[in-house]
Chain A
Amino acid sequence: MATTETTVLQFSHSSNTLSAKVHPLVIFNICDCYVRRPDQADRVIGTLLGSVLPDGTVDIRNSYAVPHNEFSDQVALDIDYHHNMLSSHQKVNPKEVIVGWYSTGTGVTGGSALIHEFYSREVANPIHLTVDTGFKNGEGTIKAYISVNLSLGDRQLAAQFQEIPLDLRMVEAERLGFDILKTTSIDKLPNDLEGMEASMERLLALIDDIYKYVDNVVEGHVEADNTIGRFLADTVASLPKLSPAAFDKLMNDNVQDHLLLLYLSSITRTQLSLAEKLNTAAQIL
């Protein structure tokens, strides 16, 4: 047999994992665990939960910390804890399975290979997420790796960590508003109208910017950019073309509908307060 005689060094690259998506909750969770880590520990590690999307992207949606001890060349992971927590999480959401593990700090260390091997037994092709909570490069680097086995024939030689593209799913954080998440303390949640005002102000500022840009182009201060021009034209064209009369009618109808509802709700409220007075004030004898 020719294949057994020629020993081939090969990457067993079975994964078609293209990228990973991380939800902000995971980052928050990791940061919180890091802040609450035990005295002597200099990093925290934990399990990542989520699912693999049909296109191969790994969707990381949840996480929990796992206590561990690290000595010079060995790592002791609390496996019982890991399994308990896993079963608890699965009771709530059975769709979330292990997709990998995380650790704080930059890059991959020696102990990482051991932990990675452990997680490889739990799930095929785990993802290793590192979050630099120490801000070593002056920025909070978040990176995802997968491990590629370097094997000689049937014997495993080493594991190579390969970085994979990471997509931070910030939509949920945006929904909440960065203002709330960015500051260390905020006294009051914004109510609907305040939020509306902020959004409108932003919209107006954007429109102003566009006006300025267009004016500058028309007057020849700035060179015209075709892509921007086309984009603007498309945006304007996306507004439905309505005759002023039709638009006015639409607008007035809508306003009247809302006014009617407002009227209804205020009349209901008045009725309520009236009924309450009658109900409790009536002296029965």
Chain B
Amino acid sequence: MANSMARSFLQVAATEEVASPLRVVQIEGLVILKIIKHCKEFSPALVTGQLLGLDVGSVLEVTNCFPFPTREEDEEIEADGANYQLEMMRCLREVNVDNNTVGWYQSTFLGSYQTVELIETFMNYQENIRRCVCIIYDPSRSNQGVLALKALKLSDSFMELYRTNSFTGEKLREKNLSWVDIFEEIPIKVSNSALISAFMTELESDSPVTQCDYDRLQLSTNPFMERNVEFLIECMDDLSVEQQKFQFYYRSLTRQQAQQQSWLQKRRAENMTRKAAGEEPLPEEDPTNPIFKPLPEPSRLDSYLITNQIANYCNQINGVAGQSFNRLHLMKALHDN
């Protein structure tokens, strides 16, 4: 009996090794409030912090978090930051908070978070924690009555490519990876303890209008739109620089191929004459010749990230424009009345 039990436990352990994919991130209301407080207080500076919680099957529970001090480019301070992190974890453990890192959060400005740094941080975290998540909060969008909270992770196929650092066209085609597949957004669930739920029900004001409604019905979205379009244009410039890099690459590639062809023809003609003269033919390849050196293909990572950002800005513009239409028509109806 005990034996079979042990085996079944082993079996369970073995089956659990095959990690079920992460489906939902469950965040406590406390964590959301903490993130918002930290990000808002320091906005427009961008800040980060650590998420603590539990990894339960396909659900990642985020039960607490703590902010990082604003980073400075100094090694001494960096070591200090590591100490701070350990100290904070130790302290939180003493008051029975889950001290299990599950990822980090960061603020962003207008959703411009798709950067190489983010990916690098992700890879760093991923080395230590099998499943980690990044929560992105946008204070600028929250002023419009939207809870701009997003949970992201890198897709597995992208991570594999990133590890081998092979972002050539061929590899990407092989994996069938497009710019949409770099980040995966995970649905967020919010949970609160019964105690908090009771308190909030108690404390909810009777007023029929909330701050959220005021924010949403605000008519002036122009500054927001303007900045969005500005960023969009900047991204377009970046993208065209990337495109030029590729054009340059292709041009030099075709030139090289033409050179190779002409060299090959010359060599063949030479071989023919040698054959006629009864001599050994020369090899048809010459690795020492500089024209056979393969040209390094520029990485497509940057252009992918820029594309991602452009798509993001487009989405935001679409969303805000849609809302503005609603508001305008509402305004018209009110005025007509």
User: Which residue of B38, B96, B328 is within 8 Å of A38 (Cβ)?
Assistant: B96
The answer, yes or no, to whether A115 is at the interface (CB within 8 Å) is: no
- B70: nearest chain-A partner, CB-CB: A92
User: Which residue of A61, A192, A259 is within 8 Å of B37 (Cβ)?
Assistant: A61
Interface string of A265-280 (1 = CB under 8 A from B): 1101100100110011
Find out whether the CB atom of A92 lies under 8 angstroms from the CB atom of B195.
no
Which stretch (A2-10, A155-163, A182-190, A223-231) binds chain B?
A182-190
User: Which residue of A24, A175, A258, A268 is within 8 Å of B310 (Cβ)?
Assistant: A268
Interface string of A159-191 (1 = CB under 8 A from B): 000000000101111111110111111111111
- B80: nearest chain-A partner, CB-CB: A91
Find out whether the CB atom of B208 lies under 8 angstroms from the CB atom of A184.
no
- A90: nearest chain-B partner, CB-CB: B69
Neighbouring B residues of A195 by C-beta, 8 Å: 145-147, 212, 216
In angstroms, Cα B216 to Cα A254, docked, is 17
Find out whether the CB atom of B212 lies under 8 angstroms from the CB atom of A88.
no
Neighbouring A residues of B217 by C-beta, 8 Å: 199-200, 203
In angstroms, Cα B144 to Cα A192, docked, is 9
Q: How large is the interface on A (under 10, 10 to 19, 20 to 34, 35 or more residues)?
A: 35 or more
- Count A-B contacts at CB 8 Å: 236
The answer, yes or no, to whether A75 is at the interface (CB within 8 Å) is: no
The answer, yes or no, to whether B131 is at the interface (CB within 8 Å) is: no
Which stretch (B25-33, B103-111, B266-274) binds chain A?
B25-33
Q: List 15 A-B contacts (CB under 8 A).
A: A27-B196, A35-B193, A85-B91, A92-B38, A133-B195, A140-B199, A173-B33, A176-B36, A178-B210, A184-B192, A186-B190, A189-B147, A195-B145, A259-B321, A265-B313
Q: Which residues of A contact B (CB under 8 A)?
A: 23-25, 27-29, 31-38, 61-62, 64-65, 67, 78, 81, 84-85, 88, 91-93, 133, 135, 139-140, 168, 170-178, 180-193, 195-196, 199-200, 202-203, 205-206, 239, 242, 247, 251, 254-255, 258-259, 261-262, 264-266, 268-269, 272, 275-276, 279-282, 284
Q: Which residues of B contact A (CB under 8 A)?
A: 28-30, 32-34, 36-38, 41, 64, 67-70, 84, 87-88, 91, 94-97, 142, 144-147, 149, 169, 172-173, 178-179, 187-205, 208-213, 215-217, 225, 229, 232, 236, 243, 246, 250, 253, 300, 303, 307, 310-311, 313-315, 317-319, 321-326, 328, 330-332, 334-335
